[in-house]
Amino acid sequence: MTKFTVNNRPVEYRMDEDTPLLWTLRDASNLTGTKYGCGTGDCGACMVEIDGEAIRSCLVTIGELEGRFITTIEALSRDRSHPVQQAWAEENVPQCGFCQSGMIMAAAVLLKKNPNPSNDDIDEAITNICRCGTYPRVREAIQRAGRVARGEATLSAAPPPGIDPEDAAKAVPALTPEE
């Protein structure tokens, strides 16, 4: 058994210790915001925060995580109020959206460490692949989120999700039991 903390909740997994964290999050915990992109650590779609570091969850096994703290996109903010999420919307970063959760997690970790990153700092920290090529908007969104976090700017808030995460499964017809 492997014990660690995911999104501020202690968890214990009865799974093979060689199971990648990505599959544990997605399959055992139903935290599907962390995406599978390549499985080789190249794309960054599976980025999570582990003990304050941006880590590709496809490259770390749950056996390596005993006693550690993991944060996924689901815990960044339930209402999308995190400055990075707000700046992402303000700068119209998303296109297809597939890489977004990994990039947002990497950006959030960067801004925790360095609230005033240069373009070089951003390029060094955000090595995720975006097949839509939104890199200039990503850079501006990170700069804007840093200004907001430092109290130098404000954002027009993006609307919260239209559904509470607790009720999300109830809204999916395929998950609604037939009577």
- 46-56 pLDDT, tens digit each: 999 999 999 99
Amino acid at 146: G
51 DSSP 8-state letter: T
Average pLDDT, the chain: 89
Indicate the CATH number for domain 2-76.
Answer: 3.10.20.30
pLDDT 10s digits, 8-32: 999 999 999 999 999 999 999 999 9
pTM of the model: 0.87
Query: What's the CATH number of domain 83-149, 1.20.210.10, 1.10.150.120, 3.10.310.10, 2.40.128.50?
Result: 1.10.150.120
User: In the chain, which segments carry CATH 1.10.150.120?
Assistant: 83-149
60 DSSP 8-state letter: -
Nearest in space to 106 (alpha carbons), one of 131, 62, 141, 133: 141
Q: What are phi and psi of 166, to 5 degrees?
A: -65, -30
